[in-house]
Chain A
Amino acid sequence: MSVLQTKGLTKQYAGLTAVSEVSLTVEQGQIHALIGPNGAGKSTLVGMVAGRTEPTSGEVWFEGENVTPLPAHARIRRGMAYTFQITAIYERLTLAANLELALRDRSREKAIAALDRVGLADRADQLAGDLAYGHQRLLEIAMGVAQSPKLLILDEPTQGLAESEIAEFNTLIKSLAGDTTILLIEHNMNVVMELADRITVLETGSVLAEGSPDDIKSNPDVQEAYLGHAEA
């Protein structure tokens, strides 16, 4: 069963087509990676999925329902969770308060448990803004994971993380595998190859290729357009 389907999703900005006719299916329980060069339209695409960005045309179907008319907050209520490419946390609130808001439940215990999943439980009473950048990133991921979403959207979660933190991130995401469906935008090809069940390659707003990691690795178009640069 597919959790998410986009049908001909298109976004035009004045004179620029950021996303063009993207039809994408994300299967239940899979980690679906979205890769492509900067400016390919990845963030815009997931923005339309989560309801942050209104599509110019096309539809978003979530769990078999057309959610295109729903505002972002209603889609989140239905089981999407979204982490921003540019870290978006409550800097002047404590880590525990950040998690309590994410959980939509004021249980401190649950907040601590969620922080523990990214190794930040001992900092529960610090202000989020006082954390190092990598830790802020992890906090935001924890806020997404804590919601036990049906679909977790991660926009370049490992950007700015140290190697050791990336390893922890991989472990965390693997622990969700099977239950949570994940749509993962990721530049780090090691992370993609390690985690993804399926990969969609986006270039200048359109789908260039889609398939298993092995398919993508051996796809000449992709090597030409993207992997070639990444590995260079």
Chain B
Amino acid sequence: MSKSLALHLGLIAILIIAGLVLPAYHQGNLARILVLATYAVGYNVLFGYTGLLSLGHAMFFGAGMYGLGLAMQHGGVAALPAFGIGLLAAAALSAVVAVLALRTIGVAFMIVTLMFAQSAFLTVLYFGEWTRGDEGFVLQQATRQIAGLDLTNPLIRYYAALTLFAAALLITARMMQIRFGHILIAIRENEERTTMLGYNTQAHKFAALVISGTLSGAAGAAYALLFGYVGATFTSVQYSIFPLLWVLLGGAGTTIGPLIGTLFMFYLIDYTSGLTNAYLLIVGVVLVLLTLFARAGIMGEVRKRFAPWLP
């Protein structure tokens, strides 16, 4: 077994045990963190590995969330097929956005993705009759189950979140070991060189965006299903910035960085908000310190200093 597989399976094993031993409060937090970390894993595919900075990923998270939520709420679709609808919605949206946004690069790409996400956000508000806009809607408890498993039960919910995260982690880790992943990194490092080595960089960027958007959508759908709420906030610009911060903090272009970053930020806010009302100030200072002294993010620094093999 390779070091990298050992690392990932080891991490998953720890998370399996954590579900059994953690007190209810932290178990609930960790379930949420695992779903949000799945979002960050998806974001990392595009930002960390392919080098494309999107400011609009909330639209993909939202596509998954509303794909599932609307299908369940208004279509009476069962949870599992509704999850599939969420994935399809995110995949389709990311394909459309990819075709249009990938005509641009750099700052223009950031702006185009931001505008698309803003349009998605306004679309959610516009169709308030179905989406209930900002207020959102609650998914009925009785419908939130898959194969007889009650996803509102904290323990089952935790393991459902872990299953999702583990799948996203293992898929992306594998992806980065095969040629496809190496080409994504090559694009990040020097796109023109990569084209002139005979790679269709545009097609690879398209694939990266669709994979990234679909994973983000999976997280959005799971979030709605596991926590029972669908609302426009999740498609707002704030939710486009979060995965960027989590990934930067945890280490862009590392497989486990997204989880570390999400975990770190969640507990940083959780802890400091218990201490003071000015907790956002403390969070800001910590972020600035990290960007000054740990540019590559937590796992990025670990890789640089101690473990160059880190995937």
Binding site for B on A (CB under 8 A): 50, 52, 71-74, 76-77, 82, 84, 88-93, 97, 100-102, 104, 106, 143, 147
Contact = CB atoms under 8 A, between A and B. Distances in A.
B196 A93 contact: no
B200 A73 contact: yes
Contact of B194 (A52, A91, A100, A101): A101
A106 B179 contact: yes
Contact of B195 (A73, A89, A90, A92): A73
Contacts of B195: 52, 72-73, 76
B197 A102 contact: yes
Nearest to A87: B193
A72 B199 CA distance: 9
A89 B198 contact: no
Contacts of B194: 101
Interface stretch (B7-15, B144-152, B182-190): B182-190
A228 to B, nearest CB: 35
B135 interface: no
B27 interface: no
Among B185, B190, B200, the most chain A Cβ lie within 10 Å of the Cβ of B190
B270 interface: no
Please classify the interface of chain B as helix (H, G, I), strand (E, B), loop, or mixed, using the class held by over half of its residues: helix
B143 interface: no
Given A73-B201, A106-B179, A82 B196 contact: yes
Interface residues on B, range: 10 to 19
Contacts of A91: 189-190
A88 B190 contact: yes
Given A76-B198, A84-B196, 20 more contacts: A52-B192, A52-B195, A71-B200, A72-B196, A73-B195, A73-B198, A73-B199, A73-B201, A74-B200, A76-B195, A76-B197, A77-B198, A82-B196, A84-B192, A90-B190, A93-B186, A100-B182, A104-B199, A143-B197, A147-B198
A89 B196 contact: no
A93 B185 CA distance: 9
B283 to A, nearest CB: 30
Contacts of A106: 179, 182
A124 B144 CA distance: 54
Interface in B162-206: 179, 182-183, 185-186, 189-190, 192-201
Among B186, B192, B193, B194, the most chain A Cβ lie within 10 Å of the Cβ of B193
